[in-house]
Amino acid sequence: MNKIKINYKNPLLLGVIASTLILNACGSSSNNSAIEKVDKTYKVTLNNVTANQPLSPAMVVLHKPSLHLFEAGKPASVGLEKLAEGGSNLELIDEAKADDAFLASKSGAGAIPPGAAGTVELSISEDEDSVYISVAAMLVNTNDAFAGGSSSKISKLQKGESFSMHVPIWDAGTEANSEAAGTLPGPADGGEGFNASREGDADFVAIHQGIVSNADGFASSVLGESHRFDNPGALLRVERID
């Protein structure tokens, strides 16, 4: 067998050999990185535990800790107002997407009847090590009540692990809780949804005190005893499936 002799005193040849080794090493590292990179996928389920309050399609947002869909004691954004009064989550999702802390979002496919559940799946980069979840859905047989959970940390979940929490019902503070005919978008009335006016309400988010139905002597209310609710109004379950 003929042996190849390398002249180690030749600086040009040594440079070529070194460059080849560096390129090979970089290529190997890049390939391994591409193979090893795996996204985190979460299955998010929202259960409606009210007696007669359908929930609007739930919006789910994954984000870093600085993003807040709402804060107790502070005015609701226009996006939250539209969700809490009319059940549309489109503008609230857009508000979240405009925030630097946004990671991913998804809307449920349809309303969630009492006793039923809605499920979505979201994926984010494996590199994200500080992941929080927020959810929101309107109680459609109300003026501006919504089930909402803001900024719960889920990034420590390993594949196959799950996290559950009760979701309270909030008053968006954007519309008077008159319960009058023509003011509720749900099946109990089929009335108006979003109205830009905030006259007659507190204009800040707070825990909802519950409805005052016609069964309670509130004669002008279109709601009955079955539409009452207590906190919490929903149950959230987050499972990491990948």
Q: Which residues contact 71 (CB under 8 A, 6 or more apart)?
A: 150, 205
Asked if the structure places residue 174 within a domain, the reply is: yes
Asked if the structure places residue 11 within a domain, the reply is: no
Burial class (CB in 10 A: 0-12, 13-18, 19+), 21: exposed
Asked if the structure places residue 32 within a domain, the reply is: no
Side-chain-side CA neighbours of residue 118 (13 Å): 21
Report the SS3 class of residue 184. Answer: coil
**Per-residue pLDDT tens digits for 84-132:** 999 999 999 999 999 999 999 999 999 999 999 999 999 998 777 899 9
Total domains present in the chain = 1
Lowest-confidence region among 176-180, 197-201, 218-222? 197-201
Tell me the percentage of the chain whose pLDDT exceeds 70: 84
Handedness of CA 216, 219, 220, 221 (dihedral sign): positive
pLDDT at residue 38, rounded to an integer: 66
d(CA 152, CA 42): 14
d(CA 234, CA 93): 20
Tokens 């890049």, residue located: 30
Asked if the structure places residue 27 within a domain, the reply is: no
Asked if the structure places residue 104 within a domain, the reply is: yes
Question: What is the average per-residue pLDDT within 23-37?
Answer: 45
Asked if the structure places residue 124 within a domain, the reply is: yes
Asked if the structure places residue 214 within a domain, the reply is: yes
Q: What's the pTM? A: 0.83
Q: Which residues contact 136 (CB under 8 A, 6 or more apart)?
A: 58, 59, 69, 70, 80, 83, 89, 92, 146, 147, 148, 149
Asked if the structure places residue 15 within a domain, the reply is: no
Domain of 189: which CATH number? 2.60.40.2130
142 pLDDT higher than 70:
yes
**Residue 237 near residue 37, CB atoms below 8 Å:** no
Query: Which domain, by its residues, includes 121?
Result: 40-240
